[in-house]
Structure 1
Amino acid sequence: MTFPIGGIPGVSALAGSGGVAGIDTTATVAEPGRTGETSGFASVLAASFDQLQTTQANADGLAAQAATGDLKDVHDYMIARNEASLAVEMVVSIKNKAVEAFNEIMRMPV
């Protein structure tokens, strides 16, 4: 028996069309000195960090419930922990690519 593999959520988060665990890519972040304007990449990155923190807090809460025996379905914890793990991997990958791009730009001759 085979199961179809769907698209990876979060890969299109930078394009503003989706995200890991429902990241709201339409969120706006106001920068100091700017009122009413949004910078696309910065707002997506800030929303990703906020969602990462929320996802990890949810997984930690479910872990505490599992440890105390209050959790009714252990699958909820496993799903939340895997979502948090994937979100961390995505954020670290984005950070690594940004650093790599910065280093490549710095190596360019002027």
Structure 2
Amino acid sequence: MTLPIGGIPGIGAAFGVGGVAGIDTTAAAQGVGGTANGDAFSSVLAATFDQLQATQANADGLAAKAATGDLKDVHDYMIARSESSLAVEMVVGIKNKAVDAFNEIMRMPI
């Protein structure tokens, strides 16, 4: 049960970088339809956080199996934990850039 590390189509295309498997923002962005950009952004953000939580829950479940001896391949846990760690780092990085952009906008003269 290994998941390949793939790119995030919605964010990778915007920033020119790859991402972590299990987080796909294009489905949320395409499902919004004719709503305002703020609604689309918030739905993409919410979907990303939900998928991040699912990635972490998967890694936690594999950790519990590894601790009890029910996990046959320990490398599955290591891969899931690495994916979870990379996803958290990416989300924190995006959050930091969004806060920086907000602060820069607030410093603009009116």
Alignment TM-score, normalising by the size of structure 2: 0.75
Q: What does 1:18-57 align with in structure 2 at a 5 Å threshold?
A: 20-25=20-25, 26-27=27-28, 37=35, 39-57=39-57
Question: Where do 4+ consecutive residues of structure 1 move more than 4 Å?
Answer: none
Bigger-Rg structure (1/2): 1
Amino acid across the alignment from 2:28: A
Structure 1 unaligned regions, length at least 5: 1-6, 31-35
CA contact (8 A) 2:19 2:90 kept: no
How many residue pairs match? The answer is 98
CA contact (8 A) 1:66 1:77 kept: yes
Q: Which residue in the other structure is 2:71 paired with?
A: 71
More helix by share: 2
The 1:19–1:43 alpha-carbon spacing in structure 2 relative to 1, beyond 3 Å, is farther
> What displacement does 1:24 show?
3.2
Amino acid across the alignment from 1:9: G
> What displacement does 1:19 show?
5.3
Q: Percent identity?
A: 74
Deviations 1:21-41 (A, max 9, x none): 2323212687xxxxx736332
Specify which structure has the bigger relative contact order, considering alpha-carbon pairs within 8 angstroms and separated by 6 or more residues.
Answer: 2
The 1:19–1:47 alpha-carbon spacing in structure 2 relative to 1, beyond 3 Å, is farther
> What displacement does 1:99 show?
0.4
Alignment TM-score, normalising by the size of structure 1: 0.75
CA contact (8 A) 1:13 1:19 kept: no
Structure 2 unaligned regions, length at least 5: none
